[in-house]
Structure formats: structure tokens, C-alpha cells
């Protein structure tokens, strides 16, 4: 079956006609570009056009250089002409006939000509500026026309393709076709299904997020348990090594005896460590008195920093002893000196 060609609307016909007219029109801007491209600049060895003939903006530096050269040449000519005229006036036997009145007339004439020349230059500059502005506007309009022409051609092709596809669909799907009411009902049903599916998807995403959080928490717990297990295993190995070592009971007995002997000799009742850098020693004194010495060390060192008495029945000043013994870090000597002074005060 031969497909019928789609009929063109009047608007489409006018668009195609305008496109053809624009493509076939001999515009000056297009003709100037063609003429410029046809010129041969290979002989201009002093100009950059010989290397870049497709860029007309390179002509501007050449024109400026030529204008500068012509100005210098004009000044040189005027200078030589004035010198020649001056020499002729000097060597001429006749009277030149130059007086103050003629000089004044020449000055006024020069002033008028300078003023006219200045006005002409201003008008010429304004004309050049207008030409430049209009040239930019013309270029923009031309580019916009070309862009619209290309866009129109593209849209025309898409319209024709869509009409042809629609004609093929009509031919492939003869009547009875889907009515507008039935299509709207199907669209409404599909919209309701999409709403339901969106709600389901949102719920699944929330569950997935919750499950990810649980998995992350479980992974953290597993890592923590691994660390704890490694520490426990290491402690178990160390305990097993100590149990297997026959010297451990003897060393424990010796250490316990040494601690008991020291506490008995020094009358040490108890010792505490409230902080990492603090040690509290409680000693028994004569007459059933007790004294607690608090030793403060610098953090992470064994350097004594301060010492003071806590809950002591005897009020004495030990700062002098602290200053003397902290200079050499003599902690045992400081304790002995404090105990000696406490016993002397009782």
C-alpha cells in the first residue's frame, strides 16, 4: 500500500518559502565574505595575512602601520617644503612681500582650516563608530537569521517526520482505535499504580536504610568483640605462661614478704592512687596518730611536682622540704624528712 504524503499547513508553507528566500538571497555580508576569501594574500610577505588569510581582523595592525608611515611622510614633506621655501625667500633678490597683516591673515586662515579639519575628523570618527555599531548589529542579525533558519529547517524536518510517522500509525492501526475516554481511564489507573509503587518504594528504602544502620552497628560490635577477644586471648596466654613458670609462687611470696616488711618498718598503713599522677601514703605515728601524705607527680613522668598533708593531726609547713627534694627528685628522702618532722612535732 502506498502511503499518502502528509499535507502541508499554510504556516509550514510560509516557513519553507522564507527559508528558501533566505538561502537564495544575495546578501552583501555574505558576498563580502566570499570576495575576501577569493583574494590572494600570498604576495604580502610583510603582513600577517600571508600566514592567516582567513582572519580579516589582522588587517587592522597593517592599516595602523600604514597610517603612521603616511603621517611621518607627510610631516617630512611639509618640513622639506618649508625649508625650500625659506631658502628661496632668503636668496631671492626680490622683496618677498610678507608683512604683519599677511601673517595675521594666514594665521586666521590656518585657524579656520584647523577648526574645519577638527570638525571633519570628529564627524569621520562618529561615522566610523556608527559603521562599527551597525556592522555588529548587522552581524548579530545575520547570525540570528541563520540560527533561526537552521532551527526552522530542523523543526520542519521533525514535523514532516512526525506527520509521516502518524500516517504510518494510522495505516498500521485501522479503526476502531483507542478513544480519548478509554485512554484517560487507563492513564488514571496507571497513575494510581505509580502512587502505590512510589509508596512501596519509599517504604522499602526506609527499611533498607534501617537495615544498613543495623548492619553497621553489628559490624562495630563484631569489631569490638574481636578486639576484646584478642585481648582476652593474650591475657589467657600470659596467665598460662605464668602458671607454667615454677618461679611465680616463689616470686609472689618474696614480693608479699618484702611489702609486709616495708610497711612494718616504715609504719605504712595503706597506699592509694586516686589519679594517674597522685599517690597517697597513710603512716602510723606515735600516740596513735595518723598522717596521710599526698604526692603529686608530673603527668606521664616520675618527677615530683607537689606534696601536702591530708587529714593530719599535726599542722606543719612542708613546702620548704618539697622545694629542696623536688629539685633533685628525691621522693624517698622527702617522705623520710616529712615523717621525721611529724614525729618531732608530736
pLDDT for 209: 92
- Mapping DSSP onto H, E and C, the string for the chain reads CCCCCCCCCHHHHHHHHHHHHHHHCCCHHHHHHHHHHHCCCCCCCCCHHHCCCCCHHHHHHHHHHHHHHHHHHHHHHHHHHHHHHHHHHHHCCCCCCCCHHHHHHHHHHHHHHHHHHHHHHHHHHHHHHHHHHHHHHHHHHHHHHHHHHHHHHHHHHHHHHHHHHHHHHHHHCCCCCCCHHHHHHHHHHHHHHHHHHHHHHHHHHHHHHHHHHHHHHHHHHHHHHHHHHHHHHHHHHHHHHHHHCCHHHHHHHHHHHHHHHHHHHCCEEEEEEEECCEEEEEEEECCCEEEEEEEEECCCCCCEEEEEEECCCCCCCCHHHHHHHHHCCCHHHHHHHHHHHHHHHC
pLDDT for 206: 93
pLDDT for 3: 43
pLDDT for 188: 92
Q: Spell out, as residue ranges, where the chain has pLDDT lower than 70.
A: 1-9, 11-12, 19, 22-23, 25-27, 29, 36-38, 40-57, 94-98, 242-248, 313, 346
- Contact at 8 Å (CB) between 311 and 342? no
pLDDT for 191: 94
pLDDT for 325: 86
- Contact at 8 Å (CB) between 4 and 167? yes
Would the CA dihedral through 10, 15, 19, 25 be positive or negative? positive
- Contact at 8 Å (CB) between 270 and 300? no
pLDDT for 151: 87
pLDDT for 216: 92
pLDDT for 54: 63
pLDDT for 153: 82
Cis check: omega of the bond before 328, within 30 degrees of 0: no
- Contact at 8 Å (CB) between 321 and 337? yes
Amino acid at each position: 500500500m502506498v502511503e499518502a504524503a502528509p499535507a502541508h499547513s499554510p504556516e509550514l508553507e510560509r516557513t519553507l518559502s522564507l527559508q528558501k528566500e533566505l538561502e537564495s538571497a544575495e546578501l552583501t555580508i555574505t558576498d563580502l565574505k566570499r570576495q575576501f576569501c577569493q583574494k590572494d594574500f600570498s604576495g604580502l610577505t610583510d603582513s600577517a595575512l600571508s600566514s592567516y588569510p582567513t582572519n580579516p581582523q589582522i588587517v587592522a595592525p597593517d592599516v595602523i602601520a600604514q597610517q603612521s608611515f603616511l603621517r611621518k611622510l607627510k610631516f617630512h614633506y611639509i618640513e622639506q617644503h618649508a625649508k625650500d621655501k625659506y631658502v628661496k625667500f632668503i636668496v631671492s633678490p626680490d622683496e618677498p612681500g610678507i608683512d604683519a597683516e599677511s601673517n595675521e591673515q594666514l594665521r586666521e586662515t590656518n585657524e579656520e582650516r584647523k577648526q574645519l579639519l577638527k570638525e571633519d575628523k570628529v564627524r569621520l570618527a562618529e561615522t566610523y563608530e556608527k559603521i562599527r555599531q551597525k556592522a555588529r548589529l548587522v552581524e548579530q542579525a545575520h547570525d540570528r537569521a541563520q540560527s533561526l533558519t537552521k532551527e526552522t529547517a530542523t523543526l520542519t524536518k521533525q514535523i514532516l517526520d512526525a506527520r509521516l510517522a502518524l500516517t504510518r500509525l494510522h495505516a498500521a492501526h485501522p479503526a476502531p482505535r483507542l478513544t480519548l475516554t478509554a485512554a484517560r481511564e487507563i492513564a488514571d489507573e496507571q497513575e494510581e499504580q505509580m502512587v502505590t509503587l512510589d509508596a512501596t518504594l519509599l517504604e522499602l528504602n526506609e527499611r533498607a536504610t534501617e537495615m544498613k544502620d543495623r548492619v553497621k552497628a553489628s559490624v562495630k560490635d563484631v569489631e569490638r568483640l574481636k578486639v576484646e577477644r584478642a585481648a582476652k586471648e593474650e591475657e589467657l596466654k600470659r596467665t598460662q605462661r605464668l602458671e607454667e613458670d615454677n618461679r611465680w609462687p616463689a616470686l609472689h611470696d618474696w614480693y608479699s614478704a618484702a611489702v609486709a616488711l616495708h610497711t612494718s618498718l616504715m609504719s605504712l598503713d595503706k597506699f592509694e592512687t586516686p589519679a594517674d599522677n597522685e599517690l597517697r601514703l597513710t603512716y602510723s605515728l606515735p600516740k596513735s596518730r595518723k598522717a596521710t601524705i599526698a604526692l603529686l607527680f608530673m603527668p606521664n613522668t616520675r618527677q615530683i611536682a607537689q606534696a601536702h598533708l591530708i587529714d593530719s593531726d599535726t599542722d606543719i609547713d612542708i613546702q620548704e622540704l618539697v622545694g629542696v627534694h623536688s629539685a633533685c627528685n628525691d621522693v624517698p628522702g622527702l617522705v623520710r624528712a616529712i615523717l621525721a618532722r611529724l614525729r618531732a612535732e608530736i
